[in-house]
Amino acid sequence: MFENAVKRNIDISKVDTVIISHGHFDHGGALKKFLDVNSLAKIYVQKEAFEPHYSKTLFLKIPVGINSKLKSNRQIILLDGDYKIDDELSLFTVSKTNKFYSPANNALYDEKGKDTFRHEQNLIISENQAVLIMGCGHAGVVNIMEEAEKYRPYFCICGFHLFNPFTRKSVSKELLNGIATELQKYKDTEFYTCHCTGEKAFYYLSQHMNNIHYMSCGETVEI
């Protein structure tokens, strides 16, 4: 993140708002280093994000959480569900994960058992056009889009979590067909996906949707 910020001429020390999408190290693992160089930003995170989280592979239980010692930092704002930051920025959580839930989540746990992703939040930017920014979309892109429908997002920028990085496997074509069918309802939304969607799943979805695009690090979307 920090090397990329330098390349893009972004001064990390002047960032004033940070959203941590959920409590996994690939989304919040740089928090300590960020706090070392930034004493200005308000950092919004669901309170459950600092609880232990794990990935289980065969007989291994691998910690994938973020540093719980940072929870009490004065810049951290702990949230319990939906929250409106200002007129342009709103956060919402999703409790229903019943529609087209990805089995790529099955390896993820908290201390109580299978992860319910109560620590996951999504960002709505309301300006000229509403923009939905998800993290990994663990709750399921279909469920998240249903919750976000009231905002009528013109852009959805997100990962769909349809790829397991440990097994290197994508989800089934049956699940992808179901997701594509549901997302076809949002004809006015442009989907930009990356990260945990996986290229194989993306290419399959792109054959069924003409409003989905692949994003890579360093690319920009003009809103």
- What average pLDDT score do residues 34-54 get? 97
Report strand pairing: 122-126 vs 89-92.
antiparallel
Place of tokens 């160089």: 37
**pLDDT at residue number 187:** 94
Domain that holds residue 89: 2-214
**pLDDT at residue number 142:** 97
Residue 222 lies inside a defined structural domain of this protein: no
Residue 219 lies inside a defined structural domain of this protein: no
Helices (H), the chain: 2-7, 25-28, 31-37, 141-148, 173-183, 199-206
Instruction: Measure CA of the first residue to CA of the last residue in the chain; give whole Å.
Output: 22
Residue 220 lies inside a defined structural domain of this protein: no
Average pLDDT score, the chain: 93
Q: Is 55 helix (H, G, I), strand (E, B) or coil?
A: strand
CATH of residue 117's domain is 3.60.15.10
**pLDDT at residue number 168:** 78
Number of domains in the chain: 1
* Burial 39-77, CB ≥16 within 10 A → b, else e: eebebbbbbbbbbebbbeeeeeeeebbbeeebeeeeebe
Residue 161 lies inside a defined structural domain of this protein: yes
**Dihedral (CA of 219, 123, 212, 107) sign:** positive
Residue 81 lies inside a defined structural domain of this protein: yes
- What average pLDDT score do residues 50-61 get? 90
Residue 223 lies inside a defined structural domain of this protein: no
Q: What is the pTM of this model?
A: 0.93
Residue 18 lies inside a defined structural domain of this protein: yes
Q: How confident is the model at residue 81 (pLDDT cuts 50, 70, 90)?
A: very high
CA 133/CA 124 separation, integer angstroms: 6
How do residues 125-170 score in pLDDT, each as one tens digit?
A: 998 899 999 999 999 999 999 999 999 999 999 999 998 877 778 9
**pLDDT at residue number 128:** 84
